[in-house]
Copies of this chain bind each other. A is one copy, B any other.
Amino acid sequence: MDLHEVDKFAKGIIIEAGKRIRDAFSHDIKVETKADANDLVTNIDRETEVFFIEQIKAFDSSHKILGEEGMGEGIDSLEGAVWLIDPIDGTMNFVKQHRHFMITIGFFVDGVGKLGYIYDVMREDMFFAMEGQGAWYNDTPLRRLQPLPLEEAVIGINASWVTPNKRVNHEKMTELVQKVRGTRSYGSAAMEIAFVVSGKLDAYISMRLSPWDIGGGTIIAREVGAIATNFKGQPCNLMSQDTFIIANPSIHQRILDHYIEEK
């Protein structure tokens, strides 16, 4: 398989999907809720996923696709060529802010991440990586992350994980928030992952993400030296939901050891 050819194809469909999404702001966006009232989905999420599926199947019908909106076939393994796709990561931002939402795609072959993309649709900014070849922010190579003390770190964390919850000891999270230089929260996992791989944040933590949220990001992470694992320090499960931390390598283990205690 010629990865450069796949990369060129992937960038082409991402940029085309981005154009379609931006155009959608001049039409009607229909918002529905999913499992819970705060989990939104729109016709544009679904149409974008269908667009990706049609394009990929036309490119190579043997490729398999796992997308957030479940518009493709179900898959039960990462065998062969597999695309993990989130057509709009940050749907609430898409609906309410008309910014701060991402297309993110990971391309895997037999379970190994080959190509990763996070595309900021409104800024038209592409973060991407190819296995072993490095990572880029548009035309600029991303540097390997430089070490820093935890006290100077700025981390992405949602305020709700600092409140009593059923997943982690919130008192430990409280200590983390009070230890670091600052916290941020943008409402898009892919945006926060893109910020970590480019040094704009030093860590991002989430209690529950899905394979399509992190597939592309973990491939970019590897090329800049960011460490992405679940809370047990293991590679994330790409076939189901899992806990997630991505961090600068100088602070990843320290955060896991001292500040994250799963219930």
Q: Which residues of A are interface residues toward B (Cβ below 8 A)?
A: 37-38, 92, 96-99, 151, 154, 157-160, 162-164, 174, 177-178, 181-187, 195, 199-200
**Is A184 in contact with B183, judged by CB distance below 8 angstroms?**
no
- In the bound complex, what is the Cα–Cα distance between A203 and B187 (angstroms)? 15
Contacting residue for A185 out of B37, B96, B151, B185, CB 8 A: B185
**Is B199 in contact with A185, judged by CB distance below 8 angstroms?**
no
Which residue of chain B is the closest to A99 with respect to CB atoms? B200
Given contacts A159-B162, A164-B174, contact A181 B97 (CB under 8 A): no
Q: How far is the CB of A74 from chain B (nearest CB, A)?
A: 29
Given contacts A38-B182, A184-B186, A185-B184, contact A177 B163 (CB under 8 A): yes
Given contacts A38-B181, A184-B186, A185-B184, contact A199 B160 (CB under 8 A): no
Given contacts A96-B200, A97-B195, A154-B96, contact A159 B186 (CB under 8 A): no
Given contacts A154-B92, A195-B97, A199-B96, contact A160 B186 (CB under 8 A): no
Given contacts A159-B159, A177-B160, contact A182 B92 (CB under 8 A): yes
**Is A163 in contact with B162, judged by CB distance below 8 angstroms?**
yes
**Is A158 in contact with B183, judged by CB distance below 8 angstroms?**
yes
Q: Number of copies of this chain in the oligomer?
A: 2
Q: Which residues of B contact A174 (CB under 8 A)?
A: 163-164
- In the bound complex, what is the Cα–Cα distance between A37 and B153 (angstroms)? 12
Given contacts A185-B183, A199-B96, contact A177 B159 (CB under 8 A): yes
Q: How far is the CB of A217 from chain B (nearest CB, A)?
A: 17
- In the bound complex, what is the Cα–Cα distance between A207 and B92 (angstroms)? 26
List, sorted by A's number, 18 A–B pairs whose CB atoms are closer than 8 Å: A37-B151, A37-B181, A97-B200, A157-B159, A158-B159, A159-B159, A159-B183, A159-B185, A160-B178, A160-B183, A162-B162, A162-B163, A162-B177, A163-B177, A164-B174, A182-B187, A183-B185, A184-B186
Q: Which residues of B contact A162 (CB under 8 A)?
A: 159, 162-163, 177
Q: Which residues of B contact A184 (CB under 8 A)?
A: 185-187
- In the bound complex, what is the Cα–Cα distance between A154 and B38 (angstroms)? 10
- In the bound complex, what is the Cα–Cα distance between A183 and B97 (angstroms)? 13
Which residue of chain B is the closest to A200 with respect to CB atoms? B97
- In the bound complex, what is the Cα–Cα distance between A158 and B98 (angstroms)? 22
